Amino acid sequence: MPGFEVFGEEEKKEIMDVLDTGVLFRYEFGEQRRGIYKVREFEEKFAGYCGAQYGQAVTSGTAALKVALAALGVGPGDEVITQCFTFVATWEAIFDSSAMPVFTEVDDTLNMDPADLENKITERTKVIIPVHMLGAQARIEEIKTIADRHGIPVLEDTAQAAGCRLKGRHLGTFGQCGTFSFDSVKTMTTGEGGMIITDDKDLWKKMSEYHDHGHDHVKNPGARGGEGRSFIGFNYRMMELQGAMGLAQLAKLDQMVASQKETKKILRKAAAKIPGVSFRNILDPEGDSATFFSFFLADKEQAVKVNKILRQNNAGAIAFGENSWHFYPHWEHLHANATLSRSGWPFKDQAGRQRVVYDPDVLPRSSALLDRLLVYQVPVNISKERVAEITAALEKAAG
């Protein structure tokens, strides 16, 4: 998964280009920057790589969600549907937009279950956020069809799936927009950073202006100060050093994915020997970014037993069913309505009345599924010795 494994001369060169100009700001400084606009170039190249018209760089993947939700017009009283297996950032951004997250079950893709999505749509649903978790595809075509039938825009949280495709088409280009994260542990990294891609020019312009205090943007302007404003915004600007990192990392993305796919094949072959094992439903193995390898055991008891053997052999897997940052039943602060707001918002209204209850037990099918799931992160640079150690552990678990 992490792009930091392949930092090299390319990143240094891009960074030095920026330091040589002395300009860290993505706008202005016309003369001094000598034509170097790393963030702008990164936006254009990243969008181009994905096959999208526009890219909007921001400070993080969480900010990308927030800016996209703002541009899609989400506000108080609105509901936004996402899935119960995702990083907390997805629904933090929904709350930060003053809206309310509604959670669906996940299916054997480990992503949004389209049938449950249909159940959760109400007249208050303003956006649907499927997440392409662990580097592989959600049922995005089915989800888009359902959303279209209801006239609701789809925002793809593609934070974990840069470089991942479905039938040759990049994830993040199926919905109205797609958001990416380049944080320190993502496939390509700028330390902190994010991006939104879209083909909708009006949506891009709103995102571009909102993320920059509402400054009027015609097209990434160089000069500013005297221009107008159409609405209130905020500051989610990426800086030039991050843009420089992004350019170097993007150039390595396909290579990283290819290397992960090779390793994943070997791990899968070894795990297939475990009696009762089955695999995550990867809708398009060719397009998989292979950042993770996920497999199911027959039941929870076997998953615990297998992982014990794997751990004893220095190859313990991640049990996402127990993970407190990525799975709804373990978001105790959400269930407990923990908020810094003195009124209790967003769980309570200004009069102290309860607005919503998040019950940890309402998504039993996802719990049953994740309870028997084991996952390995697939590194970019992994030694032959380490691969052999993991496959030997899997073979031991096979008995």
Ligand X SMILES: *Cc1c(COP(=O)(O)O)cnc(C)c1O
Annotated catalytic sites, by residue? 186
Window contacting ligand X (CB under 6 A); options: 139-147, 152-160, 257-265, 355-363 = 152-160
Closer residue to ligand X in complex, CB, 60/302: 60
Alpha carbon distance 207, 203 (integer Å): 6
Per CB under 6 A, does 175 bind ligand X? no
Per CB under 6 A, does 159 bind ligand X? yes
**Binding residues for ligand X restricted to 117-136, rule: CB under 6 A:** 131
Alpha carbon distance 75, 171 (integer Å): 26
Per CB under 6 A, does 87 bind ligand X? yes
Per CB under 6 A, does 86 bind ligand X? yes
Q: What is the DSSP string of 187-208?
A: SS--SS-EEEEES-HHHHHHHH
Closer residue to ligand X in complex, CB, 90/294: 90
Q: What is the DSSP string of 54-115?
A: EEEEES-HHHHHHHHHHHTT--TT-EEEEESBS-THHHHHHHHTT-EEEEE-B-TTSSB-HH
Alpha carbon distance 294, 161 (integer Å): 15
CA angle at 279 for the pair 257 and 129, rounded to the nearest 5°: 65
Per CB under 6 A, does 294 bind ligand X? no
Owner of token pair 């810094």: 340
Per CB under 6 A, does 90 bind ligand X? yes
**Binding residues for ligand X restricted to 300-329, rule: CB under 6 A:** none
Closer residue to ligand X in complex, CB, 242/367: 242
Per CB under 6 A, does 190 bind ligand X? no
Structure tokens at 257: 């994915």
Give me the 244-283 binding string for ligand X, x by CB under 6 A, dash otherwise: ----------------------------------------
Closer residue to ligand X in complex, CB, 84/310: 84
Q: How far is the CB of 87 from ligand X (least distance, A)?
A: 4
Owner of token pair 């825009």: 153
Closer residue to ligand X in complex, CB, 90/176: 90
Structure tokens at 295: 């497999």
Sequence-distant (6+) residues with CB within 8 A of 335 are 358, 359, 360
Q: How far is the CB of 85 from ligand X (least distance, A)?
A: 9
Sequence-distant (6+) residues with CB within 8 A of 49 are 170, 250, 253
Window contacting ligand X (CB under 6 A); options: 84-92, 227-235, 259-267, 330-338 = 84-92
Structure tokens at 189: 């990294």
Structure tokens at 283: 């809708």
Q: Is 279 left (phi over 0), alpha (psi -120 to 50) or beta?
A: beta
Closer residue to ligand X in complex, CB, 171/397: 171
Give me the 53-72 binding string for ligand X, x by CB under 6 A, dash otherwise: -------xxx----------
Window contacting ligand X (CB under 6 A); options: 16-24, 47-55, 157-165, 346-354 = 157-165
Window contacting ligand X (CB under 6 A); options: 42-50, 85-93, 266-274, 333-341 = 85-93
Instruction: Catalog residues that contact ligand X under the rule CB under 6 A.
Output: 60-62, 86-87, 89-90, 131, 157, 159-160, 181, 183, 194
